[in-house]
Amino acid sequence: MIEIIETNRLIEQVVDKHDGFLKTFNSEFSELDGKLNAAREQTMEIKKEIGATEARITVLNEKYFLFFHQAKKQREELFSKVIEKMRSAKAPNIHDIMRISGKIEEFEKRLQNSKNIEDEEKIIVEIKKLLYDFESQARKAGLIVTGKGIVDILNEANSSHKELISLQNKPKQDTGARDKQINEIEGRHNWLKRRIESHNNAVAYWQKQKGGI
């Protein structure tokens, strides 16, 4: 009987020792678990933002050149219709329209090769002036036309280019330091997880031994 009591006390001491480790380890594990989850979520959000920005840059890089192409095509179609009508009507100022068309074509070529936003804006201003002259010359021939649709596309192209530049100039986010921090936390986190599991198994073993005495 005395031997059983002494054995139980010994087992209780062993269990108490493991419980002490578990209390310390569980406390640290819980704290690290919160930090690790928060760090992972923040990193995922940053990586999503970086991916979205890179995708937007790719789209915008193609988009504003596409707009310039659309504006050119729409302008050519408009001028072609007006010139055809002026020829049929034998309008005396048809050469003014063709002169304006030639000037706009020169500016359109410069836009397609433009990388400088300031130059681009100046070119668009010049095209707008020429389109206004075109409308005036068309009215002289009795034709009511508008270059507003072309201007709207040019403005959209310019806005897309501005957004592209703002994204390209945006400070680059680097997740390298955060990834390193996560790796460090994960190392300790995994070690604690293994130790907690080991001590829980030990407690379960000794409790079973105590019950079998």
Confidence (pTM):
0.68
**Burial tier of 62 (Cβ tally within 10 Å: 0-12, 13-18, 19+):** exposed
**Burial tier of 79 (Cβ tally within 10 Å: 0-12, 13-18, 19+):** buried
Average pLDDT, integer, range 142-171: 92
pLDDT at position 175 is 74
pLDDT at position 211 is 62
pLDDT category of residue 212 using cuts at 50, 70 and 90: low
What is the average pLDDT value for the chain, to the nearest integer? 89
In 33-48, which positions are buried (b, 16+ CB within 10 angstroms) versus exposed (e)? Answer: eeebeebeeeeeeeee
Residues of the chain with pLDDT > 90, as a percent, come to 60
